[in-house]
């Protein structure tokens, strides 16, 4: 019999493709086993349980996202960097909805996903260098920025912007303008 040669890498990659097709909450061990042409029980030698699988997927997604953001940010500063960051973020969520959802689960800082999450946080903070904000305003601004971007893509995905003629793309551009404006003139206490 020919062995399927499932490795943990192939398994997680297949899970990433699957979750983008069916949604993160529909990612099951059974469905993944079917896709790999293997019995479901066989996967439990690679993965502890379904939680473990999801955590690994979160780590993959956070790493991929951080890579794309890092690439988008290279050589840019100020508003240019902000727009590149936002677009990298939104494009990833559009291209890989399942992985994006995976990246939002609660992360144990000690886990391998934790370091990817930290890297992500550092990149977000890097954008704000162009806006010269001191602590604690910098932390507040990071949270504000992250909230707006994440909120936008998550509402857009949930279909919240579909019942209106104004396109999500147009509002997105104006939202980035607004973010740039508010970061530039971050209100003093």
Partner DNA sequence: GAGATAACCTAGAGGCCCTAGGCAGGAGGG
Partner DNA sequence: CCCTCCTGCCTAGGGCCTCTAGGTTATCTC
The residues of the shown chain that bind DNA, judged by CB under 7 A, are: 1-7, 28-31, 38-42, 44-46, 48-51
Helix 112-127 crosses helix 78-95 at what angle (to 10 degrees)? 140
Residues 52-78 as b/e (b if ≥16 CB within 10 A, e otherwise) read ebbbbbbbbbbbbbbebbbebbeeeee
Residue 111 interacting with a second copy (CB under 8 A): no
Residue 161 interacting with a second copy (CB under 8 A): yes
Binding mask 79-108 for a second copy (x = CB under 8 A): -------------------------xxxx-
Residue closer to DNA (CB basis): 5 or 164: 5
Name the minimum Å distance from CB 83 to a second copy: 13
**Residues within window 131-160 making contact with a second copy, judged by CB under 8 A:** 135-137, 139-141, 143-144, 146-152, 154-155, 158-160
Name the minimum Å distance from CB 43 to DNA: 8
Residue 153 burial (CB count, 10 A) = 21
Q: Nearest 5°: phi and psi at 78? A: 60, -140
Name the minimum Å distance from CB 135 to a second copy: 8
Residue 125 interacting with a second copy (CB under 8 A): no
Site residues (CB under 8 A) for a second copy? 25, 104-107, 109, 135-137, 139-141, 143-144, 146-152, 154-155, 158-161, 163-164, 166, 170-171, 174-175, 177-182, 185-187, 189
């Amino acid at each position: 019999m020919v062995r399927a040669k499932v490795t943990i890498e192939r398994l997680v990659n297949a899970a990433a493709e699957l979750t983008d097709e069916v949604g993160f909450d529909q990612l099951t061990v059974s469905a993944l086993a079917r896709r790999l042409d293997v019995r479901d029980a066989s996967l439990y030698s690679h993965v502890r349980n379904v939680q473990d699988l999801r955590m690994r997927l979160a780590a993959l997604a956070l790493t991929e996202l951080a890579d794309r953001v890092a690439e988008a940010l290279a050589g840019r500063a100020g508003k240019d960097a902000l727009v590149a960051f936002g677009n990298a973020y939104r494009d990833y969520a559009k291209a890989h909805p399942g992985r994006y959802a995976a990246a939002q689960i609660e992360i144990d800082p000690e886990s391998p996903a934790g370091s990817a999450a930290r890297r992500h946080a550092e990149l977000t903070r890097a954008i704000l260098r162009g806006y010269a904000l001191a602590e604690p305003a910098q932390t507040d601004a990071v949270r504000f920025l992250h909230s707006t971007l994440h909120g936008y893509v998550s509402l857009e995905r949930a279909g919240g912007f579909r019942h209106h003629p104004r396109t999500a793309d147009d509002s997105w551009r104006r939202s980035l303008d607004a973010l740039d404006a508010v970061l530039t003139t971050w209100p003093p206490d």
